[in-house]
């Protein structure tokens, strides 16, 4: 019997799927708009505020609806940070000639 994927392989697959979900249909202009917006001093303040407000633990024991609500807010911050990381990776690949 063939062994199943390792935890590392499953995590890598999830990361790739998330990247694809966030960039599906996204033009380079749209991706760069994230960088331009959040690279400004004001944008960095907004990111810091989002992180402080929504980037923490979203679980509230015994309150599934509150946890789901908090998780939705947290995921917006995570999505923004993921797009910014993707843009940085794209720029690095371009600089390296790839």
**Tens-digit pLDDT profile for residues 52-67:** 998 888 999 999 999 9
**Domain presence at residue 81:** yes
Do the domain assignments include residue 8? no
Domain that holds residue 75: 27-95
User: Three-class SS of residue 82?
Assistant: helix
Any domain includes 16: no
Rounded to two decimals, what is the model's pTM? 0.72
On whether residue 56 sits in a domain, the answer given is yes
Domain membership flag for residue 67? yes
Contact 54, 75 (CB under 8 A): no
Domain assignment present for 19: no
Residue with tokens 């380079």: 28
Number of structural domains found in the chain: 1
Instruction: Answer yes or no: is 12 within a domain.
Output: no
In a domain, 22, yes or no: no
Structure tokens at 70: 């908090």
> In the predicted model, what is the mean pLDDT of residues 21-36?
84
């Amino acid at each position: 019997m063939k062994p199943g994927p390792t935890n590392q392989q499953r995590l890598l697959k999830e990361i790739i799927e998330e990247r694809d979900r966030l960039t599906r249909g996204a033009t380079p202009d749209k991706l760069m708009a994230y960088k331009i917006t959040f690279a400004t001093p004001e944008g960095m303040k907004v990111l810091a505020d989002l992180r402080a407000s929504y980037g923490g633990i979203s679980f509230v024991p015994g309150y599934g609806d509150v946890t789901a609500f908090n998780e939705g807010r947290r995921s917006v911050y995570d999505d923004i940070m993921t797009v910014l990381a993707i843009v940085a990776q794209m720029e690095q690949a371009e600089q390296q000639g790839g």
